[in-house]
Structure 1
Amino acid sequence: MAEILSADMALERAAALLAAGETVAIPTETVYGLAADATNGEAVARIFETKGRPRFNPLIAHVSDMAMAERIAVLDPLSRKLADAFWPGPLTLVLPLREESGIHPLVTAGLDTVALRMPKGFGAEVVRRLGRPLAAPSANSSGRISSTTAEAVATDLGSRIALIVDGGPTPVGLESTIVKVEDGAVRLLRPGGLSAEEVEKVIGNPMLRGSAGAVVAPGMLASHYAPAARMRLDAAEVWPGEALLAFGPKRVRAAENAVAVANLSEAGDLREAAANLFSHMLRLDRSGATTIAVEPVPKHGLGEAINDRLARAAAPRDKPLAEE
């Protein structure tokens, strides 16, 4: 079983394991990540093996500063403007990969682009101590609910990794927002913990949505973030035997019949709902219900990312790619 150390005691141990090519679960401001040296192919392969992750799905490379980012990728002026505004933080930029980047092709899924993010807190500290970028997808079995606590990581992956760094519950609770600059326009590839409105305020224009169909960034599979139970979205009532993922102060019909209830935010606060999403989904999944009914969540602000995760959690499990 994995060793669990608090973040204020784990830096040296985590850096040593990562330098040796091992995987380590680390806290970030978004969700917990399953980290490995992004320049070491065997280490990156351990991420895929541990998660059971499809190898055509690229990973995010995490950096500690702009100098490291510029050694790996080419930042156009608009991407640099976004980095200046939101790094460190929950924004990932898909950028052209430099020839001498050192990033292993498994990280990029063989693409000529790389997804880069600069995290806050322990994530940045361990990258800085290692001196190399870290590939760090969410610390959970592939396609399943992302982990926002060390306990959730231990339950899912604890028998497969050496160390879990406990930084407490993650404050954002959703994966990063992923964007790509194309011909002077910004395309939103995955909504996340930074709202589209915040990005659009900086760039001064609406973002394009979706992609041309290819998986060019993490989190673009149609079925993702899924519990074992089925998800029924925008429910107007609770059916017999269902659990209820609620939102706001008012309940749908027959809510009293739910086998279990978890409210994303009693006050209807989308930031609170985002932080609670994965932990509440996990709690309801453990209730024994075969279906989780989900009350409607507004689609503005962080609601866009919340609804994206809910839609992917509810998608047919045999559907290979997002149709965007």
Structure 2
Amino acid sequence: MLSTNSIDTILTDSTEIAASTILSGGIVVFPTETVYGIGASSYNFESCKKIYEIKNRPSDNPLIVHFPSIESIEKACHMNDRARKLFQELSPGAITIILKKKDERIFSNGLETLAVRIPSHPSILELLNKSGPISAPSANPSGKPSFTREEDVIREFSGKVDCILQAAAPTLGLESTVINLSSGDIVLLRPGSIDATVIEDVLGDKISRKISNSQISPGIKYRHYSPNAKMILVDSFEGFDFQELIEKEINSNKSKNKDELPISQNHFKVAKIGFRISKPTQFDRVVHQNTEYAYFLYEFLIDCDNQGIDLIFCERPMPGDLNETINNRLNKASSGV
């Protein structure tokens, strides 16, 4: 097996080359409609395990298996009526469903279930039709914001993976919604780019939000999406006193770093993302609706890391579409869990 420090990474727009890499046991980074993924053949257990090494991902955090069609999922899993209806109505698209595993040849890291989805990105569907199922988490260092830009992917994964597929960038910006249908209940495990209300409308039934101790879905147990800087979540920026909290944070840092050079406000970098930023700076991101917030959130957090931001203010999303999903990501990113 190639060392992750000595791989000659191929950059290509050819799904043929990417599929050949997958089928030969290689690791490929590719865009989906949600975020970038890092994947291997679901039939190659060693390659799937290597993804954990590259990302420094906890070994009990499962991978999502990407399929090209409902028919291919039915060969791998025990499909029930609810799952079939959701796939028929919402796929290809940003919905992942937990089902009982049927095909023992597919990597599940010891679980009796699989998290499965059909991405809508045309290049990835083309890739999947050539390579077969691909097991892939988001392409990012474990615990950090997911990547939505090719430049970030190339910077992070060149020399670590065998191939990076260059295709249209993600259009949604946040990961898929994960629903558990492996038992009798309909359980939302991770809010995502498809609102839970949409799923309830399709099924004509309510979704449960039970807290699960079993690790059958990505995104529910470990630190996720967190930038280096401290994050403060604000219900509304309108009339909010940023200065008081900035000064408090500067004084707190001074007390922690007594032996270092004193921190002045001129050297303390602050960034904001939200709807009501009266005088945006070069570090701020103004958004106008929740879909825009979702699209830019990870990009903004990654830019904060690259620019050495010390403190981040995030305005809570508006009511309506994607409110639950954006709040989920903000809460996880700010708490570090």
Same fold (TM over 0.5): yes
- Give the aligned CA root-mean-square deviation in angstroms: 1.9
Name the residue aligned to 2:252: none
- Provide structure 2 residue ranges, at least 5 long, that are not aligned to the other structure: 1-7, 248-267
TM-score, length basis structure 2? 0.84
User: Secondary structure at the residue paired with 1:49?
Assistant: helix
Query: Aligned ranges for residues 4-23 of structure 1 at < 5 Å?
Result: 4-6=11-13, 10-23=14-27
**Partner SS state of residue 111, structure 1:** coil
Higher CA-based Rg: 2
In 2: Cα distance, 1:161 partner to 1:192 partner: 27
Correspondence 1:308 to 2:328? yes
- After superposition, what is the alpha-carbon deviation per residue over 1:252-284, rounded to whole angstroms, capped at 9, x for unaligned? 7xx66x672122x2x2x1112111111111112
Does the 8 A contact of 2:291 with 2:322 survive in 1? Answer: yes
User: Cα distance, 1:309 vs. partner?
Assistant: 1.1
Deviation at 1:182, TM superposition (A): 6.0
Superimposed CA distance per residue, residues 102-126 of structure 1 (whole angstroms, 9 cap, x where no aligned partner): 112xxx2311111000112122211
Q: Within 5 Å, give how 1:154-173 maps onto structure 2.
A: 154-173=154-173
Q: In 2, distance between residues paired with 1:166 and 1:137?
A: 18
Q: Which position in structure 2 is the counterpart of 1:2?
A: 9
How many residue pairs end up in the alignment? 302
What corresponds to 1:71 in structure 2? 75
- Matched residue, 1:117: 117
State the identity %.
30
Matched, 1:251 2:277: yes
| 1:129 to 2:130 alignment | yes
Q: Which amino acid aligns with 1:84?
A: Q
Tell me what 1:215 maps to: 215
Question: In 2, are the aligned partners of 1:73 and 1:101 still within 8 Å (CA)?
Answer: no
Q: Distance in 1 between matches of 2:139 and 2:182?
A: 30
Q: Which runs of 5+ in 1 are unaligned?
A: 320-324
Runs of 4+ in 1 over 6 A off after TM superposition: none
3-state SS of 1:245 partner: strand
Match of 1:322 in 2: none
Whichever residue aligns with residue 220 of structure 1, its letter is I
Correspondence 1:196-275 to 2 at 5 A: 196-234=196-234, 236-238=240-242, 239=246, 241-248=268-275, 250-251=276-277, 260-263=283-286, 265=287, 267=288, 269-275=289-295
**Separation in 2, partners of 1:113, 1:229:** 36
Residue 53 of structure 2 corresponds to residue 49 of structure 1: yes
2:298 aligned with 1:297, yes or no? no
Report the alpha carbon displacement of residue 165 of structure 1 after superposing the two structures with TM.
1.3
CA contact (8 A) 1:61 1:117 kept: yes
Equivalent position SS for 1:208: coil
Q: Which moved more, 1:185-194 or 1:161-170?
A: 161-170
Partner SS, residue 146 of structure 1: coil
2:269/2:308 contact within 8 Å kept: no
Give the Cα–Cα distance (whole angstroms) in 2 for the partners of residues 103 and 182 of structure 1. 17
What SS is found at the alignment partner of 1:293? strand
Match of 1:81 in 2: 85
* Aligned-residue offset at 1:291: 2.2
Secondary structure at the aligned position of 2:215 is classed as: coil
Corresponding residue SS for 1:185? coil
Q: In the TM superposition, what whole-angstrom CA distance separates every residue of 1:80-136 from its partner, at most 9, and x where no partner exists?
A: 1111111110000000011x34112xxx23111110001121222111101x21001
Of 96, 102, 105, which aligns to 2:105? 102
What TM-score do you get using the length of structure 1 for normalisation? 0.87
